[in-house]
Each structure stands twice: as structure tokens, then as C-alpha cells.
Structure 1
Amino acid sequence: MVRPSQPVLNTVGTLARLGLAAVWLVSGALKLADPGQTLIAVQAYEVLPDALENVVAIALPLVELVLGLLLLAGLATRWAAAAALGLLLVLIAGIAQSWARGLSIDCGCFGGGGHVAAGQTEYPQEILRDTGFALLAVWLLARPRTWLSLDGWLARGRGNSGEPGHDYSGIAEGN
């Protein structure tokens, strides 16, 4: 069996990190741009008490933006991946419960959201998409080493330059 080289694995990790960063940055920015619609999307799930709906509608885009910025910078990559995975599992569960309860909603994952006409839901696609994003987070949890990351820069500053004989400039050793 052929094992991928370290540079190939590091490149895959970098693409996973940047891809997941883009997802969170776009999702958070779209929600933040229209807070009223974000509240409507949160309310459509019909799972939170009224007192928490506003808090979640305000906090969710901010959390998404922070995760996106951490992943973009490659800072605390393993922690950010764990938080992203946890959030994605909550979002998948929310979509699944809406489907199971027969609600007709748009998930609001990338802005918009709320109730839609019967038959206009895309639950399987939304769950599959978020599962793909979760797999990116799992990769980063298992292997947070990526190119062009602050984690790698900080590791070099502590004297962790990687394995003997290999130049891991810009590669994170893990968190």
C-alpha cells in the first residue's frame, strides 16, 4: 500500500482548514448581515425557548466568524476543528429533527431560512453537505498539521521544527 508523503498530507490538511474557514466565514457573514432573518431561521426549528432564540440568533454568526478566522489563520487548529465539529453535529441534529417532525423549513445555514412551502425542503442535501464539512473537521482533529499556519509559526518559535531531516516551515505540530 502506498502511503501519502508528509507534504501531500499537509497540503490536504491545509485545503481542509481553508475550506472549512471559508464555510464559517461566509455563513457567519451572511447571518450577521441580516440578523432579523437569522432570528426567523432559528425560530423555525421550534426547539428553543423564546428567551434563547434571540441569544442564539446573535451568538451563532459570531461563533461562526470566530471559528472561520481561527481556521483561516491556522491558530488553535485542533481546538477550532473540535468546536466546528461540535457545532456541525448540533446543526445536523437540528436539521434531522426538523425533518423527523415534518417541519417545512430552510435551514438558514447560509443566510435566509425559516418556513417554506411543503416539498421545498432539502433536508437530505443539507445533512450530506454538513456531514462533508464535519469530515473536514475530523481530518483537522486527527491531523492539525497544515501549511501557512500560525500554529506552525508558533511551534517553530518554541523550537519544534518538525522531525529530524524534514523542513516543516509553516507546519503546525499540533495543539
Structure 2
Amino acid sequence: MPWLSLLARVGLAAVLVSSGALKAIDPDQSEIAVRAYHILPESLIYPTSLVLPMFEIALGLLVLIGLAVRPTAIVSAILFVVLIGVIASVWARGYKIDCGCFGGGGEDASVTWRHYLTEILRDVGFLALALWLSIFPRTRWALGLGSRLRVSVQDHGHEMTDENKELV
């Protein structure tokens, strides 16, 4: 399971960092995307369009380097639940938008129900990665003490003898 958790960690980090970076490089477009959801008051749209990308990047980097994997995975899971909810909300209210999840975003008349379903299913997959790491946070090459996999000499196929017990 440590290798599966490592793959989940790298995958989740890649999603968060790339999503945040693609939004951060075009803050004007990110503002358009946030506004298209018709959820936030006008006074919160611009700050959200600036903070969300940085939050995603920071969360992704923490997951990638393996610091506080369980807490960052839980926060990531909450983020994906919120994103799934707002996409479903836009769909249910009849708006046609590109979610802007990976840059871009805003009103888009060509959007169909399949588009929303695909986005929701994609985010459910990302949510699954976050939930996996919430349950199995210990991985190889993690920097955080609570996230690091404990490796013993037996893990490498060596017998513990009185001589090498002192080395461990």
C-alpha cells in the first residue's frame, strides 16, 4: 500500500499544483471563472480568484513533499466536495459555464450536461485520491514524521542480528 499511497500523493499533488498554477498565471480569467458561478457576492469574487490558486498550489506542494499528508488530504477532500457541489449547483441552476478548474472558465454556451457530468466524475476521482491519503497517509519519501513510512532492515530482506540491531 505504500506505493499506492505514493502514487496517490503524487497524483493529487500534480492536480492541485497544475490547477492552481494555470489559474495563477491568468488572474483576470480566474476572476471571470469565479464570477460565472453566480455564488459569491461581488466583493469576494476578486479575492477568491487570487487566493484559491495560491491555496491549491500550497496544498499541492505540501502533499507532494509529504508534510502533514493526512491533514492536507482531508483539506483537499473538503475542497473537492465543495468544487463538486458548486459545479452541480451551476448545472442545476441552468448556467452554461466552463468551470475554470484548470484555467480558463466563464460563460460558455456550448456546455452540455455531459460536460458537467464529466467534470463531476473527474473531481470524484480526485476526491478518491484525497480520501485514500486520508486513510493511508504513510508513504515513501515523505518529509513529515507522521507521513513517513517506517522502513526497517527486514523490509530489505535482511535478518536482524545482534550485530546489526545496534546500527538501526
Q: Give TM-score scaled by structure 1 length.
A: 0.83
The answer for the alignment partner of 2:73 in structure 1 is 81
The secondary structure found in structure 2 opposite 1:150 is: coil
Residue 51 (1) aligns with residue 50 (2): no
* CA offsets 1:111-168 (integer angstroms, 9 cap, x no match): 00000014456100000000000000000000101111102xx3599xx94689546x
Q: Which amino acid aligns with 2:135?
A: A
Between the aligned partners of 1:118 and 1:70, the Cα distance in structure 2 is 37
Separation in 2, partners of 1:17, 1:83: 14
Question: Matched residue of 1:17: which SS?
Answer: helix
**Quick one: percent identity of the two aligned structures?**
48
CA distance in 2, matches of 1:34, 1:61: 10
Unaligned runs of 5+ in 1: 1-8, 168-175
Matches within 5 A, 1:97-112: 97-112=89-104
118-127 or 90-99: bigger deviation = 118-127
1:154-173 equivalence runs, <5 A: 154=145, 161=150, 165-166=154-155
Cα distance in structure 2, aligned partners of 1:155 and 1:42:
35
Which of the numbers 132, 145, 152 marks the counterpart of 1:139?
132
Q: Is 1:39–1:54's contact at 8 Å kept on the other side of the alignment?
A: yes
Matched residue pairs, number? 155
Q: Which residue of structure 2 aligns with residue 68 of structure 1? A: 60
Unaligned runs of 5+ in 2: 157-168
Counterpart residue identity of residue 147, structure 1: R
RMSD: 2.1
Q: Is the 8 A contact 1:155 1:161 kept in 2?
A: no
| 1:42 alignment partner AA | V
Query: What TM-score, normalized to structure 2?
Result: 0.86
Q: Is the 8 A contact 1:31 1:110 kept in 2?
A: yes
SS of residue paired to 2:31: helix
**Secondary structure in 1 matching 2:104:** coil
